Amino acid sequence: MRDMNILLVDYLTDRVVFFIERFGHQNLDITENSSDAVRYMIDNIYDYMFLGGELGKYGGNCCDVAEFLVEHGENPNNESNIIIHSWDLASVDRMIQLLPSAKYFPFEEYKFSSMFNI
């Protein structure tokens, strides 16, 4: 079985550490910036994309990532398993509107550990 390609877009250190510990054996790209996430999606195809919400003072918002996917329907990452894990409900609502096939699982470490057996 091949390794999974995973993109994590989040700026919170505890979440990043969790993802590294949980999914670091896979091909894991991590960014805390929406512009970098878009560049990753141009250059790579992901099996899973985990999107936070707000990305800190200078990181933008994962809604920018969702808007990129909508505007570039030909990008193969539109077929990825997209998981929105933010607690920022305004961002969650916007991303779900843009990406209706995305799944919403608010981040709770113990739930993520059991739900995603990647």
Q: Is the pTM of this model over 0.85?
A: yes
Q: What per-residue confidence (pLDDT) applies to 20?
A: 92
pLDDT, one tens digit per residue, over 13-30 is: 888 998 899 888 899 999
Is it true that domain 5-115 has CATH number 3.90.1150.10?
Answer: no
Q: How far apart are the first and last CA of the chain?
A: 11
pLDDT, one tens digit per residue, over 36-48 is: 999 999 999 999 9
Taking the C-alpha atoms of residue 118 and residue 115, their distance in angstroms, rounded to an integer, is 9
Q: What per-residue confidence (pLDDT) applies to 23?
A: 85
- In the chain, where does DSSP find H-type helix? 13-23, 34-43, 56-59, 62-71, 89-98, 109-115
pLDDT, one tens digit per residue, over 64-113 is: 999 999 999 999 999 999 999 888 888 888 999 999 999 988 776 555 55
Residues with Cβ within 8 Å of residue 50, at least 6 apart in sequence: 6, 7, 8, 9, 10, 19, 83, 85
